[in-house]
Structure 1
Amino acid sequence: MWEVSRDWPIHQLDVKNAFLYGHLSETVYMHQPPGFVDPNKPDYVCICSGLCMGLSKPRVLGSDIAYLLLNVDDIIPIASSSAFLQRIIASLHNEFAMTDLGSLNYFLGISAQRLTSGLFLSQLKFAKEILERAHMQNCNPCRTPVDIESKLGSDGKPVSDPTLYRNLAGALQYLTFTRPDISYAV
């Protein structure tokens, strides 16, 4: 990323939204966002469901440029100058209750470390957290993590609480999406 090589400041913000942590039983709708209103259907609304990837468009103000990376209640603002970054953060604070977590450190299971050569991204911490959740942090690694002589059958006992299994499966799925080099082994 061009902005990283130019040593632009990168921060991390956490928006305080209580509703994000509850379970919704109803469908949530929202007005079309300004600047993204469908000219053929201006009275339509959006259904808020699932995840989608937005377009990365910089915001330019004079000679200053900024990017905002958003994920639910987490924001990573990147700006061409510290002063511009602080103005953006202050503007966001005026609109939303949020915590400024300082320089980018850990976001969506990815550790970020600023080096002179750029930004080093790692998921070691996230992978170790998965192993801890599965109570496997002391297991020995093996060359082929798959048992080639399968012992699965229909006579097995179902798990009483599948929550941990689902949590681990989702975490491993996310890990393989962001690290395709390990997807076969996982």
Structure 2
Amino acid sequence: MLMAPWSATKPGFVASKIDVSLFHYTASESRVFLLVYVDDIIMLGNDTVLVNSLLRQLATAFKIRDLGKPTFFLGIETITVPNGMVLSQWRYIRDILQRAGMTDCKALATPAFVTQPVCQTTDSFANPTQYRRLAGALQYLTITQPYLSYSVNRLCQFMHSPTDEHWGLLKRVLRYVKGTLEYGLRITTSVSSDIHAYSDSDWTGCPVDRKSTSGYAVFFGKNLVSWVSRKQRTVARSSTEAEYKGLADVCVEVTWVVSLLRDLGLTSTTPPTLWCDNLGATHLCANPVFYARTKHVEVDYHFVRDKVSAGEFQVHFVSTKDQLADIFTKPLPAARFTVFRDKLNVVAYTPCA
């Protein structure tokens, strides 16, 4: 890991067209990558000699500091485990709890109520700035604790006018986080380079405006690489429409992931597989016979059908009990929540003091 003010194009690095923060350098079979965030840089490659040579070139033009193997980057700690690493934010969690005055709170098994919906009330919270700061801090925490995405997304929808009820729901998330200090996202070596993604939508799940919440989880081999929990822009008239919109969203993300991997020199022989638990939506992706029922659906959602027809994607049905993206669309009971959390490749570890 490096720290420096610099321009990556000087030693011959090529800027990625897919990610503006990524640069790469190629020499024969050797490749070196740079990921830049302001003056913090991660450099890695498959040729140690070339990496050291490029470091020396950069040092002649810029003041840099080589911090060695990255262990702490942008508040995210990398902890080495057998066959891979764990991305952790336990120090960040501790700081959030301290700011909220909840370092000694009792931990809970889930971050959201299963039976109590989030709704707007008239009892405004006395300190909305504190609510916004903590909700924003929890957003960054979803980088290593993706299963918090649904709860945090719901809390952030009330930033403009939080109530006492919303504050109580935020405190529940913090009480759950209190018990997950030792959890992080595991990245392991994978023999497979296949991409598969789970997509789900909770039809009219929001009691305020009846819009649906979509969520997806994208895996590269065994590793979770992208996920989201997001309210849809328009009200869906059926569960099939809501799920179809969710498939379109994950289709966009997988297209970007495939392009990024190609930029890194990684390709797969099989097209990405999308898993959906709605038969109507899976049929709609491959068969336009339902056209009469979907005239009202915006045209931009139909591009997923073009991707399937071209053989770029496969869309398959998955049982609801195996739908991992369920954790991104609704509150779940503790047992089901724990099973899905583990399947997201989130593991417990022993944090260093």
Q: Could you say which TM-score interval applies, normalised by the shorter chain? A: 0.5 to 0.7
Match of 1:131 in 2: 97
Contact residue 24 and residue 32 of structure 2 kept, 8 A: yes
**Structure 1 position 159 matched with structure 2 position 148:** no
Letter matched to residue 140 of structure 2: Y
Q: How do residues 1-186 of structure 1 correspond to structure 2 at under 5 angstroms?
A: 12-15=1-4, 53-54=19-20, 56=22, 58-146=24-112, 148=116, 154=122, 156=124, 158-159=126-127, 162=129, 164-186=130-152
Q: Structure 2 CA distance, aligned partners of 1:55 and 1:150?
A: 37
Say which structure is richer in helix: 2
Say which is worse superposed, 104-113 or 127-136, in terms of deviation: 127-136
CA distance in 2, matches of 1:184, 1:74: 30
Distance 1:53 1:35, change over 3 A: closer
Is the contact between residue 71 and residue 77 of structure 2 (CA under 8 Å) also seen in structure 1?
yes
Q: Of the two structures, which has the highest relative contact order with CA contacts closer than 8 Å and spacing of 6 or more?
A: 1
Deviations 1:101-121 (A, max 9, x none): 221101123211234512322
Q: CA RMSD in A?
A: 3.4
Contact 1:177 1:183 in 2 (8 A): no
Shift of 1:132: 2.3
Partner of 1:104, secondary structure, is: coil
Whole-Å Cα distance in 1 between the matches of residues 118 and 82 of structure 2?
Answer: 48
TM-score, normalised relative to structure 2: 0.34
Distance in 2 separating the partners of 1:61 and 1:112:
29
Q: CA offsets, 1:52-73, max 9 Å, x none?
A: 9437563112332101011122
Change in 2 beyond 3 A, CA 1:133/1:87: farther
Q: Return the TM-score normalized by structure 1.
A: 0.58
Separation in 1, partners of 2:25, 2:99 = 40
Identical amino acids, percent of aligned pairs: 32
How far apart, CA to CA, are the structure 2 residues paired with 1:141 and 1:61?
Answer: 52
- Structure 1 Cα separation of the partners of residues 145 and 46 of structure 2: 29
* SS of structure 2 residue aligned to 1:58: strand
C-alpha separation between the residues in 1 aligned to 2:123 and 2:32?
58
Counterpart Cα distance in 1 of 2:123 and 2:68: 52
Q: Is the 8 A contact 2:14 2:24 kept in 1?
A: no
